[in-house]
Amino acid sequence: MNKNVNWIYKVFLLSFLLSAVFSSITGLINEDLNPVILIIILIIFISIGIIFDMIGVAVLTSKEATFHAKASKKIKGAKESIFLIKNNTKVSSICNDVVGDVCGIVSGTLGALLIVNICNTFDLNITITTIIVTSIISALTIGFKAVGKIVATKKSDNITFMVGKIFYFLKIRK
């Protein structure tokens, strides 16, 4: 039980820190920024959420045995992939819940800035603009996460191994 409580504290702290960092970034952006730049930044945050969602699903569905064979051949990233799979619920929680949810919240903030920008620039109705922009953001996020989940389950070992290699090269090991 103590491990679970510690894990909850860690997730809470990580969520807080990521939110603070991402919110600081969006706080530097104002509604007077070029709408194209706002859209690019918004797409980046939506993409980060989708990529991390895919990683979370892939690690949950990967097969550990695949990586033991690679680890026995001393292939770089295999041990890190095993670590990810052995900690798959924590990895999934961080990727899907922490990073994914924070990116979703930041996307909403960026969407609001974009709505204000568009309405000020083109003198449009804020209600209609809000409906259109939030619908597009939701459709992109949900639609591509659905596609990402399909890809992640079919290519789970490849995705997990790619993340394992990144962990290896960044020296993130246990």
Note the pLDDT of residue 173. 66
- pTM for the model: 0.89
DSSP structural state of residue 156:
H
Q: What is the pLDDT of residue 1?
A: 57
Check: CB of residue 96 under 8 Å from CB of residue 53. Answer: yes
Pairwise CA distance, residues 91 & 124, whole Å: 43
Between CA 86 and CA 80 the distance in angstroms is 10
CA 115 to CA 134: how far, in whole Å? 9
Per-residue model confidence as pLDDT tens digits over 41-70: 999 999 999 999 999 999 999 999 999 999
Report yes or no: 96 and 57 within 8 Å, Cβ to Cβ: yes
Q: Residue 13 and residue 75: Cα distance in Å, rounded?
A: 34
- Residue 137, SS3 per DSSP: helix
**Alpha-helix residue ranges (DSSP H) falling in the chain:** 2-28, 35-61, 64-72, 78-86, 88-92, 100-122, 126-154, 156-169
Instruction: Report residues of the chain scoring pLDDT below 50.
Output: none
For residues 164 and 77, is the Cβ–Cβ distance under 8 A? yes
What pLDDT score was predicted for residue 2?
76
According to the model, what pLDDT value does residue 39 have? 94
